[in-house]
Structure 1
Amino acid sequence: MIIANEYFNGNVKSLGYANDGKSTLGVMEPGEYEFSTALHETMNVIEGEMTVKLPGSIEWVTYKAGEAYQIEANEKFQVKVVEQTSYLCKYQ
């Protein structure tokens, strides 16, 4: 089953699906966002880039197309996007 998700007044949209676990494939419009996790996440940047402040960090790190980062379950993290950016998020 495919599930449509929409966050931040439509500025972040994704399609959720189950294929060897749970994943979402989405797009973010330019902006600043704070996300919460329920499960461990691996975020793969497909196009564009994300500047991310991970839990417990004071530094912002930029991840570009082809790069990935991970967030543990039950955490919050911040993301800045300056251009439309697509991603694949895998949950474990």
Structure 2
Amino acid sequence: MISSNEYFDGTVKSLGYTSAIGKSTIGVMEPGEYEFGTTAKETMKVVEGELIALLPGETEWKSYKAGTSFEVGANTSFKVKSIGQTSYLCQYE
């Protein structure tokens, strides 16, 4: 079953699904700064656009452009800045 998710007054929208490799969401962010909490380990892949992320334990923001990814551990939070509209694939473990 496909689930629909909407966050931050509709500026972040995603579709959730389960495939042979596990749970995932694919979505789009409008330009802006967002903070997300995690309950499972996540791998976020930038499909199109650019995210600048401040990951747990880090003090410097880092840029992730289309084709790159980053991981975030379970039960933590991270911040991202979306540069333009940015699409992503988030896979959960």
Shorter-chain TM-score category?
over 0.9
**Which aligned runs of 4 or more in structure 1 are off by greater than 4 angstroms?**
none
In the alignment, what sits opposite 2:63? 62
Bigger share in strand: 2
In the alignment, what sits opposite 1:4? 4
Identity %: 61
In the alignment, what sits opposite 1:22? 23
Q: Aligned residues, how many?
A: 92
**Length-normalised TM-score, structure 2:** 0.98
In the alignment, what sits opposite 2:32? 31
User: Which structure 2 residue ranges, 5 or more long, are not aligned?
Assistant: none
User: Which structure 1 residue ranges, 5 or more long, are not aligned?
Assistant: none
**Structure 1 counterpart SS, 2:9:** helix
Query: Residues of 1 paired with 2:72 and 2:57: CA distance?
Result: 11
Query: Residues of 2 paired with 1:64 and 1:82: CA distance?
Result: 10
